[in-house]
Amino acid sequence: MSKLVILGLNPSSGRPQENRDLTTILKVLDAECKNCSPLSSFQCIDRCKAYKLKNELRTLRQAMANPDYVKELFNALKNETRLQILDAMANGRYSTVHLQQELKRLGQTQSQGTISEEYLHPLIAVGLVAQAGEEYYATTFGLRLTPYLARFRELARRLPAHSECYEENLLQSLLTGPKTFEDIETLILQKNVARILKRLCSAKLIATPKERDYVFFFRSKRDQKKETFTDAERKIYDAMYENGSSMGSLVKETGLSARIIYRYTRAMKGRKLVFCRRTPKTYCLTCIGEKLATAMQAVQKILEDTWTSCELLAQDAKSPSLPLRA
């Protein structure tokens, strides 16, 4: 069986097969190792995909133990040049010279020093890229994230490259449904909420209804038979739903303008025929915001799977003591 298939990789592209999680791959690799008969220990270290994957996971486990790891990962990915490099490495290994040529082909002029310090090192720090001699390559973990690189390019264009990732956390939390300002204050430090919401609204990643859409009008329990209505008042009154109607729905149902409706509801409020109630303003994801949040949530799931695999490897008493790098 092909070693690439065992590793959960597509032999033609080197990309991970989506139906193979790392825990399953590790179990398959352990079974293969028992039946493997290398000609020499050097051949085992140099060519064995299982050996290299386990080394990657051991190194990655150290990085992921950092409480700020997820923040550092998202910040590393919010850079278009790094994403271009990671995407290129999904198809092979590159030296800094070759990366310089690849970036030049894409319209970027970068020195080898800048490529190394600004782009490769941050990717290496979060376990997406590894180095072998003078060449760099995408790790198995890095390959698992390549399907989401296009979404992170969009994220990089809309959010700051260096942040505490409050925006990313809020976007993911909104996948469960709209949230009020008070709800959001439980997720983010209060002093940061207004700034974060303004930034996400400006980036068109979240939206909130206009004011007239969250002011609802209700009929009171006052006996309408004892009252006299004008034609416009009767039209507005009859258009109100039992559970309340927004200004937008009243405009649609009556065909009257918002200005006229406000004038007549004000008069009916004075006679205690109707009352209004404000529902808390809520924030929800826009279409692009939902796509980005879904991509980040998928990455979080990959992180959880990878961490489980790292822990499985660390707890395996039969696993040989291997150096951190092949």
Helix (H, G, I), strand (E, B) or coil at 219: strand
Instruction: State the average pLDDT for the chain.
Output: 83
**CATH top-level class for 211-280?**
mainly alpha
164 vs 153: CA distance, rounded Å = 18
Of the pLDDT bands very low, low, confident and very high (cuts 50, 70, 90), residue 3 is: very low
Neighbours of 40 (CB within 10 A): 8
Residue 192 has pLDDT above 50, yes or no: yes
User: What pLDDT is attached to residue 53?
Assistant: 79
Tell me, rounded to whole angstroms, the distance of Cα 156 from its chain centroid. Answer: 12
125 vs 136: CA distance, rounded Å = 13
Q: Which tens digits make up the pLDDT trace of 113-154?
A: 999 999 999 999 999 999 988 999 999 899 999 899 889 999
Of the pLDDT bands very low, low, confident and very high (cuts 50, 70, 90), residue 323 is: very low
Residue 17 has pLDDT above 70, yes or no: no
Q: Which tens digits make up the pLDDT trace of 106-116?
A: 888 999 999 99
Helix (H, G, I), strand (E, B) or coil at 13: coil
User: What pLDDT is attached to residue 12?
Assistant: 39
Q: Which residue has the higher pLDDT, 21 or 11?
A: 21
In 3D space, the residue among 145, 87, 148 whose CA is nearest the CA of residue 305 turns out to be 145
Q: Which tens digits make up the pLDDT trace of 28-72?
A: 766 666 666 665 555 555 556 677 778 888 888 899 989 999 999
Calculate the alpha carbon distances from 141 to 77, 86, 159, 275 in Å: 13, 11, 24, 58
Of the pLDDT bands very low, low, confident and very high (cuts 50, 70, 90), residue 201 is: very high
User: What pLDDT is attached to residue 247?
Assistant: 86
15 vs 162: CA distance, rounded Å = 28
